[in-house]
Structure formats: structure tokens, C-alpha cells
Amino acid sequence: MRATALSMTSPRGGALSRRRRAGLILAAGCVAAASLYGLGPGGATASSHREAPLVAADPAIDNTDLYAFVSPERRDYVTFIANWQPFSEPNGGPNFYPFATDARYNINVDSNGDARPDAIFRWTFKNIDNRGNSTFLYNNGPVTSIKDENLLFRQVYTLETSFNGKPFVTRITDAPVAPSRVGPASMPDYQKLRDEAVITFPGGWKGYAGQADDPFFLDLRVFDLLYGGDLSEVGQDTLAGYNVNTIALQVPFTDVALNEDPKRNPVIGVWSTTERRQVRMADGSSSGGWAQVSRLGQPLVNEVVIPSGLKDAFNSLSPDKDATIPAVVKRVTEPEVPKLIEAIYKLKAPATPRNDLVEIFLTGITTKANGPIKADLNSQLNNADVNPKKFQPSEMLRLNLMVPVADSPNRLGVLAQDLQGFPNGRRLTDDVVDIGLQALEGAALTGKLVDAIATGDKVDANDNAFTGEFPYLALPNGVGVNTLAKDSGAGAGAPAPSAPAEPSTKPTAMIGTSSDWVPVMSIGAAAAVGIGAIFFTIWWRRRNRIVPTAHPDSTAEM
């Protein structure tokens, strides 16, 4: 609406004489004029300049979580799962949630520790749109197969890979994307659609792209306490009922390990990125370059470590720059969260500088970087063929591929001496909220869980069970979250945990030496939850600026 009044239709020139005769008299009491006085302070919009959206929704490139773990049923394959498009609500509009066709979705792997990718897996998406111009139909009948012609809008993807800096090679084109689940009548057998979207590639790779239940579990409301909120209602998985768009890939260890030798070089670092093409304002052309618009390695950490003022910067950095930004390193060595906890709850913050956190967040746990944790677990420095001089501390999700698959995974992962779990990679069942909180309070350093915060956010498992086979994720929820809330009534209890049984794994003594968890301090459960609250504050911001309406959990079978 740029210069609307003057540039397009207002009569001038020849109209001038008429104008001059016009002589408008403004009658103050005129009903028509007076009616505008209802517009209040700030008055009428006078939008005689172009106004463009400023906070346009862009969830398709909003990267929420990354997982990397040894495949439990295929133990020499590693599985990567990355999620975008948070808070996708089934029947929410109704709507569907495509991947962005103008973005690149990457999973990056660094095996030699220089903080640069040695393997890049890159997904791009295309629309197959048979809706025509005048309709907003998603489907015009039941969708019983992935290529069902009743599905009027669908997507396919191309996967390209680059290893060791060599040019990209196309691995597959036009692979089907599992559709958004829009309801039981439209998609009576979603499992079939899921199965058809699981692709086996040459070389034994498996891939999946499409919708899934959001596997992350936590109670976002715990952090209300920071703002004086009511703590009486924690213990619900706030993400229950929502879907995400998932990309999952399973590849042999040998394809990602340094020198294709996972026995000598078992550790990899993983992070996901989303990119959009850059534009040169000089002439409006695409420059050929791509801008990184989001980056994700370890869960929460990026946000907990990086204060909100640096979050935007961090998202645009590549990992090899991390250690060159003093503010980033300082936030690791002098973390904010334990100080907040100490100030509010008198749980004494561990002494700084926190070099244990440097190990967890920036180097991987190793004895080779002069860190305080006396263990070698998941730093590339422990790869036999790594040149330590080229090692570059950086934030990524590090995984030791040779740690055996735990028969009974412990949700607290490494801190509960289940070494296959977070922060050694990340499994779907790892309770990263509680783990992260424990780590920040020094549990990795002492080898003792901090009892005072043992309850964390009181959400210990996802609402929907994970499966035993690739891509492991629960099917997308098929019932609208708000619909469900209404149907099941308010005040439904905590989710029925589908978590695996609690620990029986024998510690292998790589982390800590003590298995007698001594309560450091006794504080009330509510306070403990409040501590969790602080922890989430910054994380929550990234995930979605808006917390969804609180709702009872979905335990409905789809």
C-alpha cells in the first residue's frame, strides 16, 4: 500500500479546478465522520506506505530435534533422525505440513574432529500438485497407498551425499514422502502409508521422510515458575498429540566412520542444518550461495548454553567457528542455569570454569583434552586416526558407534551409566531434559546424580510408544489436539509411560566410579520442578515462540 492515495487513482491535473471548487466542509457532528472516533488512541491506519509481514510463519525450516543412535535391530548401522515443523496439529485447520521446496535439509557428520563435515546427507523436496488452481483439496477420497491418485498434493525427495569434500552424488530421486495424516476417513490405514515410505537404498541404507508423532517429551509448563506461574500441573507431556516432519536415515558405520573403520575410529559428531538460497541485493539475483537458517546438534544445549542474545548468531555459525567466539565458550565454562538455580533454590552451583561442560558440549568426553572427566567416551580425539592438531572444539551431537546397544535403555543415559544414551548420541527414549539438568549441576563430573533435581520435569517418556524398527517413531497423531482435549475432558492424568524398564545395565565405569547416588541436598519437589523450569526457558524459545494450549495427553490409539 505504498503511496496509495497519491500514486494510483487520485485525480490531479485536469481535476485540479474541480478540486479547488470542492471545498470540503468537515462537519464535526457528522455521523459518518464521528463514527471513526471509535478507533481509539493510535487512531486510524494510515497505511500509505508498503507494509510487509515481519514475523511470517516459517515452520518448515524450523529444526527442533536431532537423534543419532546405533540401530537396535541392525547393530552395525547408525540411525539419524531430524525433525522440523513443530506443533503440527492433526486436523488442525484442517491442514497439511509440507517440507519447504526452497530449502536444503542437511545432516552433517564430522569424523575427524575438525568441526567440518566429512559426510553431508542432503534432502531436497519437490511438490507433486494435482489440485489445480482453484481448490484447496488435499485429497478427494481415501488415500490407501503412497501414490494414491486421491492424494492431490504430495511430495517427493532427492537425497544427495558428499563424502570427504567430494562432489555431491545423487542417491535417490523422487522418493515418496509420507503425507500429513489428515484423518481416519481420508487415511484409513496410515501404517501402510508409513511402510511404503520407508525406502531401502542400494548399499543397505534405509530412508524415511514424512510425518511422525513428535518423539520429544517434556512438560513445557515447568518453566512457568520463572514468571511466577502455577506449578501444580506439571508432569504432562506438552508435545503429546502434535506431529513433526521427520527425516530418518540409516547407514552402515563404515559409511560415516573415519577411514571407513569404525573399530579404529568409532566416534562421529552429528548436526543438522537447514539452508535457503542467498540473494544478492545488487541485482536481485541468487548468488549461488546458501544461508544457514538453523542448526541443531545436542538437544537443549544450544539454547541453554547460548543465551537468547547469542542464539540467532549461533544458528548462523558453522561448528568450526564455535570455539572462535569467546562468548560461546564463556557460556559453556560459566553457565547461567546453575547460577539461577543457586540464586533461587540455594542448590550450590558447581565451581567454575566448568571444563566438564566443555567436554560434554564442545569436545566430547575424553581424557585427551585435559578435561576433568576421567573417561574416554565420545570425542573424535579418541579416534585412532585423528590428527589431534586439527581437532577443533565445537558443539555437535557426538556418538561412539562401538558402545553396545543397551538391552534395557535407561532414560538417564550416560549419567545412569547406560553409556549408549545421551550425551553419547541421543536415543528416542533418552530423557534429555533431566539429563541436561543433571549435567549442568555437575553430575558428569562427580559421577553422582543430583538427587534434589531427580524428578526433573516429571515427564519421563513419550506419550506414544516407539517401535522396534526403522524409523522407530510412532505414527503421526490422527486426532486434533484440541478435539482430543475436549473429548477426554480436562485434568487427564500424566501420560501412560511407554518407556522401557528402568536400569539394569551394568556400569562399565567409563563415567564416574560411584554407583551410590547420594542426595546432595534435599529440597522440595516443587522447587525441583522449578529448577527444571529455568533450564527450559531458553530452549523453549527456539522450539516455538508460543506454547500450545495445555491439554490432556493423547493416549488414544490411532
Which residue, 283 or 557, has its beta carbon nearer to other proteins?
A: 283
Smallest distance from the beta carbon of 312 to other proteins, in angstroms?
4
Cell numbers standing for residue 390: 586439527
Nearest to 416 by CA among 499, 350, 474: 499
Smallest distance from the beta carbon of 104 to other proteins, in angstroms?
12
- Size of interface with other proteins, in residues (CB under 8 A): 110
Cell numbers standing for residue 498: 511407554
In the shown chain, the binding pattern of residues 484 to 523 toward other proteins, with x for contact by CB under 8 A and - for none, equals ----------------------------------------
Measured over the CA atoms of residue 56, residue 100, residue 214 and residue 138, the dihedral's sign is positive
Q: Cα(396)–Cα(333) distance, rounded to whole angstroms?
A: 17
Q: Binding of other proteins at residue 327 (CB under 8 A)?
A: no
Return the residue matching grid coordinates 543415559: 413
Q: Per CB under 8 A, which of residues 185..224 are in contact with other proteins?
A: 185-186, 224
Q: Per CB under 8 A, which of residues 283..322 are in contact with other proteins?
A: 283-285, 291, 293, 308-310, 312-313, 315-316
Please state, as a whole number, how many other Cβ atoms lie within 10 Å of the Cβ of residue 169. Answer: 10
Smallest distance from the beta carbon of 34 to other proteins, in angstroms?
5
Cell numbers standing for residue 201: 537404498
Q: Binding of other proteins at residue 8 (CB under 8 A)?
A: yes
Residues 6 or more apart whose CB falls under 8 angstroms from that of 148 comprise 139, 142
The conformation of residue 426, written as its DSSP 8-state character, comes to B
Q: Binding of other proteins at residue 36 (CB under 8 A)?
A: yes
Cell numbers standing for residue 85: 515443523
Which residue, 245 or 363, has its beta carbon nearer to other proteins?
A: 245
Q: Binding of other proteins at residue 279 (CB under 8 A)?
A: yes
Q: Which helix (H) or strand (E) holds 46?
A: none
Smallest distance from the beta carbon of 281 to other proteins, in angstroms?
4
Q: Binding of other proteins at residue 53 (CB under 8 A)?
A: yes
Smallest distance from the beta carbon of 286 to other proteins, in angstroms?
9
- The size of the chain, in residues, is 558
In the shown chain, the binding pattern of residues 529 to 548 toward other proteins, with x for contact by CB under 8 A and - for none, equals ------------x---xxxx
Q: Binding of other proteins at residue 11 (CB under 8 A)?
A: yes
Give SS3 for 243. strand
Smallest distance from the beta carbon of 369 to other proteins, in angstroms?
29
Nearest to 330 by CA among 367, 355, 301: 355
Q: Binding of other proteins at residue 468 (CB under 8 A)?
A: no
Q: Per CB under 8 A, which of residues 126..145 are in contact with other proteins?
A: 133-141
Q: Cα(291)–Cα(276) distance, rounded to whole angstroms?
A: 5
Q: Per CB under 8 A, which of residues 76..105 are in contact with other proteins?
A: 91-96, 100-102
Amino acid type, 109 = V
